[in-house]
Amino acid sequence: MNGQTEKIGVDNGAGRGGIDRLLYWRRYPASLHAAFYLMLAVLVFFAFYPPRQAEGNLATEVVWKLWWPGLSFLLLAAGRVWCGVCPFGGLSDLAARLRRPRHAPPGVIRKAGPWLGVVSVFLFGIAFLALGLEGNAAATGVILVGMAALAFGLSLAWKGRNFCRYLCPIGMITRVYSFFSWMRVRGGGGRRPAMACPVGQSPASLRQPSQCHLCGACTKGGSAGVRTFTGFAGARLPARTEFGRVEATLSIVMLGLMAADSVRMTPLFARYQRGALPWFGFNYRLSVIVGVAALTALLLASFALASRLLARRPGGAESVFRSLGFSLLPLTFGVFMALALQHLWSGAWPSLQTIAAESRLLDWTGHMPPEDVYFVSIPLKIIQFVFLAVGLGWSLRLADRTLQPGREKPGPVPLEVAPHKSGATSLKRPVILLAAGGISFLFLLPMSGAC
């Protein structure tokens, strides 16, 4: 009987395809972790040093202008596969192999863990907006080092990927957004007990695929761990019984953070700052923190109030709140994708230029002003075009009175000298007008105040 059970539990790899080949590869995810360790070290190094060749910092360009918006499209295509190859998760696994702790985290941490994750997402969003992480290399470096230290330290103290499970904001975000992934996860169905899951899930009876980090622990040693299959299914969201208060609260919190990020890109942000800065002693970061927290709290309070008003029976407000958060999730993901596309559209090419310059692939040491300092001021444009018109008139007048016949070199002549009507002289006006037209077109565009 025992031999039969063993045989049923063994995965012989039949019919395996797609990402399953990666999950059951014996070097997954160790080989990818090694590559990401190196990348993390390089980014931390550049985060604390000024750019050598490029205009921007390599760490901020890669993390916030390429990886962060690109994560949304990775989620859409492959779910939580990033959690499987993430260097912080790899550091957790490394710490577990070094010390092999036997005890799980205390019960109070396990009970409060999901709510700690919501708080971490909120603090992450506050830091992103208030510290301006897209242009703050030092803060980016501190965050990377801090997350790495927490991931390693918590797995030295207790068994499992504790940082990934309870505190990682990226893990919490991928957890709810993985519901929309084209790739789905289910248990492999083997009866033989698989290796212990680092995040406390059972591959044999996986009920909520969003909980799987795709770390590959259950696919080693011949066990039939998780399997993947594909197909978009907008209606394939988890049942509301699986979408609890934590997920509902996280959905609303993330919508508030993304709404604040959207406002930051519009003139509404400048209007808010003009009114808010005097109240906070002209402390920019404090005004941003208060604004983001107020917007998020307003959304949470509004949904909580709506839940009470819509509840048909005493104690039913929680169920309504979960339903509202569940229903809000597609909108939240849509805003996330829209913002990601906005960031990639505006920042991908400059970021690639920065990478090429810092890696010496591009000899580029010139000045490139920030993209957010371009503006149009009508009074300024009028004055500028007055200067252009005066300069153009002056150039045309000089063009008519230079290049006297018989002179070897061009040079100015007294204004009373009559122009020489030759073919070369007659072409000077169209050439000057064409050049002036090109310059005028450039001045019609928004221009930077940082140059």
Q: What tens-digit pLDDT sequence spans the chain (451 residues)?
A: 333 333 334 444 445 556 788 888 888 888 899 999 999 999 999 899 877 666 678 899 899 989 999 998 898 888 888 998 999 999 999 998 888 887 888 888 888 888 999 999 999 999 999 998 988 999 999 999 999 999 999 999 998 889 998 999 999 999 888 878 888 787 765 544 445 688 877 666 565 667 788 888 887 766 667 777 776 554 455 545 567 888 889 988 998 898 888 888 788 888 898 999 999 999 999 999 999 999 999 989 988 888 888 887 776 888 888 878 887 888 888 888 888 888 888 777 777 777 777 776 555 555 555 666 667 778 877 887 887 687 677 667 766 665 444 444 444 444 334 444 444 445 556 766 776 676 677 678 776 554 4
pLDDT for the residue 227: 78
pTM: 0.74
Helices (H), 24-163: 30-47, 58-62, 68-78, 81-85, 87-99, 107-130, 137-157, 162
pLDDT for the residue 424: 46
Q: Where are the domains of the chain?
A: 1-368, 374-448
pLDDT for the residue 20: 80
Burial class (CB in 10 A: 0-12, 13-18, 19+), 310: middle
How many residues appear in the chain?
Answer: 451
pLDDT for the residue 372: 64
CA dist., res. 293 & res. 53, Å (int): 38
Residue pair 269/263 in contact by the 8 Å Cβ criterion: yes
The verdict on whether omega for the bond into residue 29 sits within 30 degrees of 0, i.e. cis, is yes
Q: Where are the beta strands (DSSP E) in 86-189?
A: 183-186
Quick one: which of 97, 72, 69, 83 has its CA closest to 36? 83
Q: Tokens 């805003």 appear where?
A: 335
Residue pair 143/197 in contact by the 8 Å Cβ criterion: no
Quick one: which of 188, 187, 189, 178 has its CA closest to 236? 178
Q: Where are the beta strands (DSSP E) in 225-301?
A: 227-230
Q: Which residue type does 14 have? A: A
Q: Which helix (H) or strand (E) holds 433?
A: helix 428-444
Quick one: which of 232, 201, 182, 198 has its CA closest to 80? 182
Q: Which residues pair with 229 in a beta bridge?
A: 184
